[in-house]
Homo-oligomer: A and B are copies of this chain.
Amino acid sequence: MKTYLDCLPCFMQQALRAGRMATNDEKKLKEILSSVGAMIKDIPMQNTPPETGDAIYKKVREITGVNDPYKEIKKQNIAEAIALYPEMKKIIDSSDDKILTAIRFAIAGNVIDFGVNKEFDIEQEVKNNLEKDFAIFDYDKFLEELEKANTVLYIGDNAGESVFDKILIEELGKQVTFVVRDIPVINDATIDDAIASGLDSVSEIISSGCTAPGTILNLCNDDFLKRFNNADMVISKGQGNYEGLSNVSRSVFFLLKVKCPIIANDINVKENDIVLKGINIK
């Protein structure tokens, strides 16, 4: 997805939000906003938003000196999600379509997102998502590709959401590689968060090599790119990965809850919609 004009003021809001997680120092926060403001003129509109996010969150780290301001929140979100895990497993076990129910949970987990300025109640979200209609629902194609697949590359998004991803990975019954960010950026899952979420017991965990809050192929490492190109199936979670991967040439299934009006417009759905969208499906 390209950068839209509305993304530019939003970059400033994101920088302020991330800065405030790291410091109360008003001078440093002003400095962050001044730096990001000065960046605007050099942002290529054809770039994907997470490419700019990469530079912005780097600037926030530099100015505040804090590398992982969401560390404690990520721990809490993972713990909350783990507490919900047994109940979700029960619901899946008694459901008619286990994979679909697991997909619903995986999308519910995508509400845990501090990149957007929305409050959330994860327990309520899980309940709501069991009933909610999908705005885009490429489920038949998903099942078809899944059936033929031996290897699945599953690109994670946020910490806490990662526990919900584990639930879906367990139902996929395939050889899964779970992909995380290379370093802490917002509340996105890193290798440590993925392990704390129990993903090491159901998948191989790798870093994409990307430090942006989304997957941008030309910023990823060779190992990831090889696996991305060769995986039988790719599942991408969340907005940041959608923004980075919506124009790639291979097949990808995007699972997300839409929390931003600009992304909603890009996908042609509404804010708060849930989406299971396949691209380049044969």
A172 in the interface (beta carbon within 8 A): no
A39 in the interface (beta carbon within 8 A): yes
Q: Which of B10, B12, B39, B45 contacts A8 (CB 8 A)?
A: B12
A56 nearest CB across to chain B (Å): 12
A196 in the interface (beta carbon within 8 A): no
What's the interface size class on A, roughly? 20 to 34
A47 in the interface (beta carbon within 8 A): no
Q: Which of B6, B26, B33 contacts A40 (CB 8 A)?
A: B33
A13 in the interface (beta carbon within 8 A): yes
CB-CB contacts below 8 Å: A30-44 with B = 30, 33-41
A30 proximity list for chain B (CB < 8 A)? 5, 8, 45
User: In this complex, what residue of B is CB-closest to A31?
Assistant: B41
User: In this complex, what residue of B is CB-closest to A8?
Assistant: B33
Report the bound CA distance from A35 to B38 in whole Å.
8
- For A20-58 the 0/1 string (1 means CB < 8 A from B) is 000000100110011111111100010000000000000
User: In this complex, what residue of B is CB-closest to A6?
Assistant: B16
- CB pair A5 B26 closer than 8 Å: yes
Q: What is the total number of copies of this protein in its complex?
A: 2
Tell me the A residues contacting B by CB distance below 8 Å.
Answer: 5-6, 8-10, 12-13, 16, 26, 29-30, 33-41, 45
The SS class assigned to the A binding surface is helix
A180 nearest CB across to chain B (Å): 29
A12 proximity list for chain B (CB < 8 A)? 8-9, 12, 37, 40
Q: A8-B16, A9-B9, A12-B8 are in contact. Are A34 and B41 (CB under 8 A)?
A: yes
Q: A5-B30, A13-B9 are in contact. Are A41 and B40 (CB under 8 A)?
A: no
A35 proximity list for chain B (CB < 8 A)? 41
A5 proximity list for chain B (CB < 8 A)? 16, 26, 29-30, 33
Report the bound CA distance from A10 to B13 in whole Å.
8
A to B CB contacts below 8 Å, 22 in the list: A5-B26, A5-B29, A5-B30, A5-B33, A6-B16, A8-B16, A8-B30, A8-B33, A8-B37, A9-B9, A9-B13, A12-B12, A12-B40, A26-B45, A30-B45, A34-B40, A35-B41, A36-B37, A36-B40, A37-B40, A38-B38, A38-B40
A229 nearest CB across to chain B (Å): 34
Which 9 residue pairs are nearest across A and B when measured between Cβ atoms? A37-B40, A34-B41, A9-B12, A37-B37, A9-B13, A8-B33, A34-B40, A5-B29, A9-B9
A93 nearest CB across to chain B (Å): 45
Report the bound CA distance from A13 to B40 in whole Å.
13
